[in-house]
Amino acid sequence: MTVQHLADAASLAALVPSGARIGVTKGEQTDVPMAMALELVRRGVTDLDLVTIPTCAFPASGMMLDILVGAGCVRSVETSGVSMSELGAAPRFSAAVKAGTLKVVDATCPAVYAALQAGAKGQPFTALRGLIGSDLMAHRDDWAVVANPFEADDPVALLKAINPDVTLFHAPMADRHGNVWIGRNRDLLTLAHASDMTLVTVERIVDGDLMEDETLAPAVIPNFYVTALAEAPGACWPQQADGTTDLDAVRAYMSAARTEEGFRDWLAAHVFARPEAAE
Amino acid sequence: MTVQHLADAASLAALVPSGARIGVTKGEQTDVPMAMALELVRRGVTDLDLVTIPTCAFPASGMMLDILVGAGCVRSVETSGVSMSELGAAPRFSAAVKAGTLKVVDATCPAVYAALQAGAKGQPFTALRGLIGSDLMAHRDDWAVVANPFEADDPVALLKAINPDVTLFHAPMADRHGNVWIGRNRDLLTLAHASDMTLVTVERIVDGDLMEDETLAPAVIPNFYVTALAEAPGACWPQQADGTTDLDAVRAYMSAARTEEGFRDWLAAHVFARPEAAE
Amino acid sequence: MSAGETDVRPEEIQAAAIAGLLEGARHVAVGMVSPIPGTGALLANERSGGGTRVSILGSKKTTFWTNGGSELFDLAGRGRLDAFFLSGGQIDGGANVNLVGVGDYPEAKVRWSGSFGSAYLYFVVPRVILFRWEHTRRTLVEKVDFVSAPGTSEPGVHRPGGPIALITNLCLFDFQREAGRFRLKSLHPGVTLEEVRDNTGFDFDLPEHLAETPTPDADTLSLIRGPVARRIADVYPVFARQVFGIEPAAA
Amino acid sequence: MSAGETDVRPEEIQAAAIAGLLEGARHVAVGMVSPIPGTGALLANERSGGGTRVSILGSKKTTFWTNGGSELFDLAGRGRLDAFFLSGGQIDGGANVNLVGVGDYPEAKVRWSGSFGSAYLYFVVPRVILFRWEHTRRTLVEKVDFVSAPGTSEPGVHRPGGPIALITNLCLFDFQREAGRFRLKSLHPGVTLEEVRDNTGFDFDLPEHLAETPTPDADTLSLIRGPVARRIADVYPVFARQVFGIEPAAA
């Protein structure tokens, strides 16, 4: 149960096997695990099943998902939304769906949250209002409608719990004991509870014990849930530590990734040619 | 939706009607709403249905529940445990159960949490492992066993959601906007989400906006969920702001409350005779 | 019509119409990249003296979650969200919304981003306001290719919420829940019924009296162009520059 | 037996037996007011060089929850709690546990505090260790009056967890899950089989070889009386004073 402190994102990503079910958050906060994702691309990992909590529809998260899909790492994506938000559609994702090479398991945000929360509790399924009569429900064999046992004539949807094999994210800080501070980004805690492995890059490692600081402790994922972490400032690029996103970098990616060739060129320049990629 | 800032615990307690379903936490942290509870006794409120989240088995919480039961305010208690912890059994509670004047709805801690979490999400019920074959299950018409629709031969318990009418607690601090800081006492947040009304005494009101402090905000119940609050230092007595409990006060209570007469004397001295009780 | 009102922009008319639909709401949430609904909601907030609380998703300043991304849905499930906005790549005459794509699912001729929270919020939020500025037969169709969220439900399905209106760049429709059909409520200034019919892929009902969508009065306009514009500029700077000609306050 | 071992206290023998049952466990939780299980768990922690994590409920120092009171149950549901301790006002021969009271429920001749987490943890924690120091026919009964948590479950019921042992002031029983019966494993020093039979309200099996519960060796005793005693004193000061004659470190 001891947290492994590893040297870098590559060492963390080395723990992710092909075929793993990977949980990632929506990227509204500064938590996109881009450095680890690019290492998965470098390693040529395949057959990943991505679960987005509940979307990847912010510029950096949409871009990360798009790169993994474009690079052939991904078998399926369970999601309630994929895009680069106001910048537009995710190009390699859209192309893969049209080409029929990517399985999309369409969901709706609260269903992903509810199923993940059930997973975090180790329960088999949970109940959620809504959904009934949607085509989402029609295409999900892990959702079902049952009769509410406490109310007459009240059909309710049940959702099978979500338990990713691995969760990947970036966080503001951790201590040397492996406790990770996440601020208001509570979804990261739920994901860590629900997942078998949790791999974290952090902006910085701080001295002391985060669990002993009464103002910080409430927003800590205790080391018990953290498999391994590495200090890797900027590992959330194109997100930046100040909370903004380098939108020019996202636009440049989107422009390149409009075509398969452009995407390959982008990978060559930004992933395979980067000096730190040398192994 | 605006938080009412009231003068004292009595003004808060005045908002609680007889017959209400009241949620209280287990009192492991410094959150026991004793001052409000004693005001309910003064007012002679009746027919309360208490739901303990998930127990009242710490000295101060057990004492509060015992007083409410002894004073005749309570119709039923849904709980997984009532006691004064290492100090012993709750005397008026035990007497009322033996006399058959109090309905106890026996529960188990994780079932209370799961049902409350479903209530906090506005869902009708949730699923929980365990329970099957216990006599708890046999006596609950708001628990049921159904077949897991995603797994053959897998009976699973469903629990009807818990939504208290009113939640009462004490907290370390609030700001003038009505945001309440709860530290690691996360159950209070779940309770506030699940309840229709949330009434809070706080140790102190601070300047500024707790939601704008990035280190404090993660542990804040936003004012949206707070019906009314009052600055009332010590309103958690016999808990004390430093996190300890005045065990001598609890022992004195327990000793008095061994008999109905002793309990009445205790009430006369500590509740009805207190100068601040004068209205 | 006063001189000042002749240069009222369509966005202002639409925002004012939206504010009208939000009267009395205690809490309104606005999805991301929805500047006109955001303007309408903030106008409702100003008019109500703060009584109508507005949460603009993705904006730290106007949201208050401390329990993760599920909190919006949780409070909606508790009946604590009175109004929400929903758009769609396709919307049909039964108010079914498609956010997934065109074609025979799972194959897609066009793939959109996904259903987001629609399949839940559409059931539990009492006033869901549909908006789709592009009013064409491509967007307002007879039958959607994929139902992200159904406009109506079978009897017995728990559904305190649902659509109340659809607003486009041409007109405002009411949604009649019992009938499961839209009824034209008002035409935006300068728009004809013919134009609406030509550009709508579904059949809809007509009201007894077909009105024009009101042009905001001077008080409303000064609210929109004053405090509302300044607040919207913090969230949607490009929109605020285009419509109101103002820049966000320095951060 | 060395001279030093002759004055070994029963609590030390019981704690050492408990530590033996915890070998290899990654995470052990101890309920409140359970000083001997706490001592055993901390001994397991010391012996494993920290590999066996111990959470003592109600003690800030040894628990790490940041997600409210449900976190213990949630991590147990996820298989992240390997061992837990459970006591009972009554325990019967089928390892059924009664924490509610004596009499025909809901009437009660004696009312205890309640079932706490038993009806769940008993199902999901692989090694549940039952303890009841008072070994009498009043506490160890043929059939409990109320099943807070059943010792065994019907086939098909999801049950990765359950009882593995029962320890009392007289002896240690194994629990045989398939048979649903206890088997005596060892008698504490000085206790006879007769004594156990006389004081047990249920029928139980005998092992091929009836052993004596081992008296801890010198190394174990020095762990118990050294680091374990100092840590237990922070949580159970009265117990530590009585058994080990030590006071908690100044806060």
Residue A275 is predicted with a pLDDT of 55
Is the CA virtual torsion C43, C44, C45, C46 positive or negative?
positive
Average pLDDT, chain B: 96
Q: What is the pLDDT of residues C111-121, one digit of tens each?
A: 999 999 999 99
How far away is chain B from the Cα of C78, in angstroms, using its nearest Cα? 4
Chain A positions contacting chain D at CB under 8 Å are: 1, 120-124, 189, 193-194, 211, 217-224
Domains and CATH numbers, chain C: 10-244 (3.40.1080.10)
Nearest to D74 among A1, A121, A218 (CB): A121
3-state SS, chain C, equals CCHHHHHCCHHHHHHHHHHHHCCCCCEEEECCCCHHHHHHHHHHHHHCCCCCEEEECCCHHHCCCCCCCCHHHHHHHCCCCCEEEECCCEEECCCCEECCEECCCCCCCEECCCCCCHHHHHHHCCEEEEECCCCCCCCEECCCCCCCECCCCCCCCCCCCCEEEEECCCEEEEEECCCCEEEEEEECCCCCHHHHHHHCCCCCECCCCCEECCCCCHHHHHHHHHHHHHHHHHHCHHHHHHHHCCCCCCC
Contact of D72 with D81, CB cutoff 8 Å:
yes
CA C110/CA B270 separation, integer angstroms: 73
Instruction: Please state the domain extents for chain A.
Output: 4-124+161-271, 125-160
Q: What is the pLDDT of residues D149-194, one digit of tens each?
A: 999 999 999 999 999 999 999 999 999 999 999 999 999 999 999 9
Spans of chain A, pLDDT less than 50: 277-279
Nearest to B150 among A125, A214, A219 (CB): A125
Angle at C46 between CA C43 and CA C50, to 5 degrees: 130
CA D10/CA D191 separation, integer angstroms: 12
Contact residues, C window 146-185, toward A, CB-based 8 Å cutoff: 146-150, 153-154, 156-158
Is the CA virtual torsion B191, B197, B200, B206 positive or negative?
positive
> Choosing among A184, A211, A242, which should be mutated to test the B contact, i.e. which has the most B CBs within 10 A?
A184
Confidence label for B279 from pLDDT (cuts 50, 70 and 90): very low
Helix (H) or strand (E) holding B106: strand B103-106
Residue B274 is predicted with a pLDDT of 60
Q: Which residues contact A37 (CB under 8 A, 6 or more apart)?
A: A13, A64, A67, A68, A168
Does C6 reach chain B within 8 Å, measured CB to CB?
no
pLDDT at B277 over 80: no
Interaxial angle between packed helices B260-267 and B91-99, expressed in degrees from 0 to 180 and rounded to the nearest 10: 130
CA D158/CA D144 separation, integer angstroms: 23
D46: helix, strand or coil: helix
Nearest to D66 among B54, B57, B184 (CB): B184
- Long-range (24+ apart) CB contacts under 8 A made by D185-189 are D185/D211, D186/D17, D186/D210, D186/D211, D186/D212, D186/D213, D186/D214, D187/D211, D187/D212, D187/D213, D188/D10, D188/D13, D188/D14, D188/D212, D188/D213, D189/D13, D189/D213, D189/D215
Subunit contact D119:B139, Cβ cutoff 8 A: no
pLDDT at C86 over 70: yes
B92: helix, strand or coil: helix
Residue D60 is predicted with a pLDDT of 74
3-state helix, strand, coil in chain D (%, to 5): 30, 20, 50
Alpha-helical regions (H) of A15-108: 34-43, 59-70, 91-99
pLDDT at B124 over 80: yes
* Residue corresponding to tokens 């009332």: B232
With 0-12 / 13-18 / 19 or more C-beta atoms within 10 angstroms meaning exposed / middle / buried, residue C86 is buried
Confidence label for C178 from pLDDT (cuts 50, 70 and 90): very high
Residue D251 is predicted with a pLDDT of 46
Residue C174 is predicted with a pLDDT of 97
Subunit contact C69:A109, Cβ cutoff 8 A: yes
Percent of chain A with pLDDT over 90: 95
Backbone angles phi, psi at A170, to 5 degrees: -110, 145
Nearest to A134 among C111, C114, C119 (CB): C119
Q: Domain spanning A4-124+161-271: which superfamily?
A: Glutaconate Coenzyme A-transferase (3.40.1080.10)
pLDDT at D1 over 50: no
How far away is chain C from the Cα of B26, in angstroms, using its nearest Cα? 21
Residue A221 CB coordination number (10 Å): 28
Angle at C228 between CA C224 and CA C232, to 5 degrees: 125
Q: What is the pLDDT of residues A68-125, one digit of tens each?
A: 999 999 999 999 999 999 899 999 999 999 999 999 999 999 999 999 999 999 999 9
Chains D and C touch (3+ CB pairs under 8 A): no
Contact of B114 with D120, CB cutoff 8 Å:
no
Interchain CB contacts (distance < 8 Å): A and B: 91
Confidence label for D2 from pLDDT (cuts 50, 70 and 90): very low
Backbone angles phi, psi at A17, to 5 degrees: -85, 155
Q: Which amino acid is at C128?
A: V
Average pLDDT, chain D: 94
Q: Which residues of B touch A144 (CB under 8 A)?
A: 149-150
Does B130 reach chain A within 8 Å, measured CB to CB?
no
Mean pLDDT of C222-243: 93
Q: Which residues of B touch D237 (CB under 8 A)?
A: none
* Residue corresponding to tokens 């910085």: A204
Average pLDDT, chain C: 94
Q: How far is CA B105 from CA B108, B112, C200, D147, in A?
A: 10, 11, 58, 15
Mean pLDDT of C223-227: 96
How far away is chain C from the Cα of A50, in angstroms, using its nearest Cα? 15
pLDDT at B229 over 70: yes
More confident residue, C235 or B278: C235
Q: Return the minimum-mean-pLDDT range out of B265-269, C103-107, C196-200.
A: C103-107
Subunit contact C107:A132, Cβ cutoff 8 A: no
Confidence label for C238 from pLDDT (cuts 50, 70 and 90): confident
Subunit contact A109:C124, Cβ cutoff 8 A: no
Residue A86 is predicted with a pLDDT of 87
Nearest to A122 among D53, D67, D79 (CB): D79
Exposure on the CB side of residue C47, measured as CA atoms within 13 A: 24
Mean pLDDT of B220-247: 96
CA B199/CA B208 separation, integer angstroms: 21
The predicted complex's ipTM stands at: 0.96
Chains B and D touch (3+ CB pairs under 8 A): yes
Subunit contact A79:C114, Cβ cutoff 8 A: yes
Helix (H) or strand (E) holding D39: helix D35-47
Mean pLDDT of C190-206: 98
With 0-12 / 13-18 / 19 or more C-beta atoms within 10 angstroms meaning exposed / middle / buried, residue D89 is buried
Contact of D221 with D12, CB cutoff 8 Å:
yes
* Residue corresponding to tokens 């730190």: A276
Does D59 reach chain B within 8 Å, measured CB to CB?
no
CA D97/CA D130 separation, integer angstroms: 9
Q: Return the minimum-mean-pLDDT range out of A114-123, B247-256, D234-243.
A: D234-243
Residue B55 is predicted with a pLDDT of 97
Q: What is the pTM of this model?
A: 0.97
Residue C60 is predicted with a pLDDT of 74
Percent of chain D with pLDDT over 70: 97
A29: helix, strand or coil: coil
pLDDT at C250 over 70: no
Subunit contact B1:C73, Cβ cutoff 8 A: no
Confidence label for B273 from pLDDT (cuts 50, 70 and 90): confident
How far away is chain D from the Cα of B275, in angstroms, using its nearest Cα? 34
CA D19/CA B195 separation, integer angstroms: 43
Residue D250 is predicted with a pLDDT of 56
Q: What is the pLDDT of residues A259-269, one digit of tens each?
A: 999 999 999 99
Confidence label for D6 from pLDDT (cuts 50, 70 and 90): low
> Choosing among B30, B31, B117, B123, which should be mutated to test the A contact, i.e. which has the most A CBs within 10 A?
B123
CA-based nearest residue in chain C for residue A53: C69
Residue C189 is predicted with a pLDDT of 96
Question: Which one, of A154, A181, A155, lies nearest residue A169 by Cα?
Answer: A181
Subunit contact B150:A129, Cβ cutoff 8 A: no
3-state SS, D65-122, equals CCCCCCHHHHHHHCCCCCEEEECCCEEECCCCEECCEECCCCCCCEECCCCCCHHHHH
Q: How far is CA A21 from CA A54, A74, A198, A230, C78, in A?
A: 14, 10, 12, 21, 32
CA-based nearest residue in chain C for residue A78: C114
3-state SS, D134-176, equals CCCCCCEECCCCCCCECCCCCCCCCCCCCEEEEEECCEEEEEE
Q: Which residues of D touch A220 (CB under 8 A)?
A: 66
Q: Which residues of D touch B54 (CB under 8 A)?
A: 69
